[in-house]
Chain A
Amino acid sequence: MPDPVVDVQQLSRSYGRTQALKQVDLLVRPGQVYGLVGANGAGKTTLIKHLLGLLRAQQGQVRVFNRDPVREPVPVLQQIGYLSEQRDLPEWMRVDELLRYTRAFHPGWDADYAAELLDTFGLDPSKKIKELSKGMRAQAGLIAAVAHRPQLLLLDEPSTGLDALVRRDILNAIIRAVADDGRTAIFSSHLLEEVQLMSDRIVMIDAGQILLDGTLDDLLECHHTFVVDTRNAPIDLVNLPGVLSSEDHGPHSKLVCEHPRVNHEELLANGAQIIQARGATLTEIFVARAGRTQVGKMQQTDEVAMS
């Protein structure tokens, strides 16, 4: 098997009394797209900052390209393309200045690719960053992140607040990196439908812990959604082991279940009338798995860490 691109072992981090990451293990193999999924404040950004060497591991170990990103930032960062939701670009620079400036850090800069993207996006290189719209900013940030053809693309909420066209540009950059050169991408997003389509593997993080980590196909395979009529059920089906969540829709209920722990036969045996049975969507799995824990609590601390 090829060397892992990222190898995180038992990583823990706390800000004051808040535990932002708890014994996180993460192995990222080349050529795959990893979808990082979690509520606000679940720890996604904190984890990504460790990969970039912006945060030092308090406990545990972080290896990127088999190096410590805090001790050897240059060789690690040269192989990473990073785009954050904040898109913290220097406001006073022009687009072409931004690209020249970024190029200086990256010996592998592909000027043709950068020019092609500028042209595709229709970005005016002489415009100042501060004059750009939100979508154009994302496009400029994207060119700066991918034109050195990094081995690892790290995209933290790249699509947030963008229209469908710019989102398409960003996703296409991931597709191109993976399809043409077998490179690797880790991206986080609130848009779970997008994650479901774009990811080979899903890493679900909740309250600083990895909740699920596996191939998307396996994840979808082992979660089913049933719409049932429960009027004749003698017991509350929600309490069946393996029923992860339920939504009450009048006389009907939607159950998200572990498969095959809960199946047709068992639901029928418990008096349910099955109206619909299908594979669960990633959104349903996420809500069922992470929905009950308190969310948003750690967001403040995350923001403190970024400033």
Chain B
Amino acid sequence: MHIEISPQDGVPIYRQIANQVKYLIASGRLKTNEELPPIRVLAEQLLITPNTVVKAYHELQSEGLVYKRRGAGTFVADTKSPLARREQKRILIGRADALLSEAKQLGFTFDEVLEMVRSRQSALDKTAGKEQSDARPRG
């Protein structure tokens, strides 16, 4: 599991970890019932006190995103749960807020931002379509 932390961030490390795991789950990079790294392993990877990992996993557990099996490790909970959906929404809302405030600072109107989002979507659709046809076996 790839996690990156930054002590300069001003955000507590356990929250940085929890947020990134949430993101990995919400984006499908961690699948339901997949095991998270054991506490010692993640602590050694990030060079942090193990209790920080304990705290991060605990927070994820209390939000229903992971579950613990006794004597075993920590596993990703069913991501189709309403809780996971709420988390996915929360991530997008954060991105939307950042986009809107940046747009405002740069002097774009809301309608201009909307228009930009729409045009980006059709650009992405085109690339996706092209990739698909590229991937098709040639006969």
Taking a contact as CB atoms under 8 Å apart, the answer to whether B47 and A279 are in contact is no
A14 an interface residue at 8 Å Cβ cutoff? no
Chain B, residues 1-40, CB within 8 Å of chain A (1/0): the string is 0000101111111100000000000000000000000011
B46 an interface residue at 8 Å Cβ cutoff? yes
Question: How far does the alpha carbon of A278 sit from the alpha carbon of B46 in the complex, in Å?
Answer: 22
Q: Contact partner of A168 among B11, B47, B50, B52, CB < 8 A?
A: B47
Taking a contact as CB atoms under 8 Å apart, the answer to whether A179 and B10 are in contact is no
Which of chain A's residues has its CB closest to B5's CB? A197
Chain A, residues 34-57, CB within 8 Å of chain B (1/0): the string is 000000000000000000000000
Taking a contact as CB atoms under 8 Å apart, the answer to whether B51 and A180 are in contact is no
Taking a contact as CB atoms under 8 Å apart, the answer to whether B9 and A278 are in contact is yes
How many residues on A have C-beta within 8 angstroms of the other chain's C-beta atoms? 29
A91 an interface residue at 8 Å Cβ cutoff? no
Which of chain B's residues has its CB closest to A282's CB? B7
A26 an interface residue at 8 Å Cβ cutoff? no
Chain A, residues 266-303, CB within 8 Å of chain B (1/0): the string is 00000000000011111000000000000000000000
Q: How far is the CB of A225 from chain B (nearest CB, A)?
A: 7
> Taking chain B's interface residues, is the majority helix, strand, or loop, or is none over half, making it mixed?
helix
Stretch binding the partner chain, chosen from A131-139, A140-148, A169-177, A236-244: A169-177
Given contacts A278-B9, A279-B11, A281-B8, contact A179 B47 (CB under 8 A): no
B83 an interface residue at 8 Å Cβ cutoff? no
Chain A, residues 157-177, CB within 8 Å of chain B (1/0): the string is 000000000001001101110
B98 an interface residue at 8 Å Cβ cutoff? no
B134 an interface residue at 8 Å Cβ cutoff? no
B91 an interface residue at 8 Å Cβ cutoff? no
Chain B, residues 43-60, CB within 8 Å of chain A (1/0): the string is 110111111100000000
Chain A, residues 215-226, CB within 8 Å of chain B (1/0): the string is 001001100110
Question: How far does the alpha carbon of A220 sit from the alpha carbon of B50 in the complex, in Å?
Answer: 18
Residues of B within 8 A of A245 (CB): none
Q: How far is the CB of B44 from chain A (nearest CB, A)?
A: 5
Question: How far does the alpha carbon of A278 sit from the alpha carbon of B40 in the complex, in Å?
Answer: 29
Taking a contact as CB atoms under 8 Å apart, the answer to whether A175 and B50 are in contact is yes
Residues of A within 8 A of B14 (CB): 217
Taking a contact as CB atoms under 8 Å apart, the answer to whether B50 and A179 are in contact is yes
In the complex, how many residue pairs between chain A and chain B have their CB atoms under 8 Å apart? Answer: 62
How many residues on B have C-beta within 8 angstroms of the other chain's C-beta atoms? 20
Residues of B within 8 A of A33 (CB): 49, 51
Question: How far does the alpha carbon of A199 sit from the alpha carbon of B48 in the complex, in Å?
Answer: 8
A124 an interface residue at 8 Å Cβ cutoff? no
Taking a contact as CB atoms under 8 Å apart, the answer to whether A281 and B7 are in contact is yes
Residues of A within 8 A of B39 (CB): 179
Question: How far does the alpha carbon of A77 sit from the alpha carbon of B5 in the complex, in Å?
Answer: 36
Q: How far is the CB of A136 from chain B (nearest CB, A)?
A: 21
Taking a contact as CB atoms under 8 Å apart, the answer to whether A179 and B40 are in contact is yes
Residues of B within 8 A of A224 (CB): 10
Taking a contact as CB atoms under 8 Å apart, the answer to whether B51 and A178 are in contact is yes
Taking a contact as CB atoms under 8 Å apart, the answer to whether B51 and A278 are in contact is no
Taking a contact as CB atoms under 8 Å apart, the answer to whether A32 and B51 are in contact is yes
Residues of B within 8 A of A85 (CB): none
Residues of A within 8 A of B9 (CB): 278-279
Residues of B within 8 A of A178 (CB): 49-51
Taking a contact as CB atoms under 8 Å apart, the answer to whether A199 and B49 are in contact is yes
Q: How far is the CB of B123 from chain A (nearest CB, A)?
A: 33
Closest 4 A/B residue pairs (Cβ): A279-B10, A278-B10, A179-B50, A179-B40
Between A and B, 21 residue pairs with Cβ closer than 8 Å are A31-B51, A33-B51, A174-B49, A176-B44, A178-B50, A179-B39, A179-B50, A196-B7, A197-B7, A197-B13, A197-B48, A197-B49, A198-B49, A200-B49, A217-B12, A220-B10, A221-B12, A279-B9, A279-B10, A279-B11, A281-B7
Beyond the given A200-B52, A279-B12, please list 4 additional residue pairs across the A-B interface where CB-CB is below 8 A. Answer: A171-B47, A199-B49, A200-B51, A282-B7
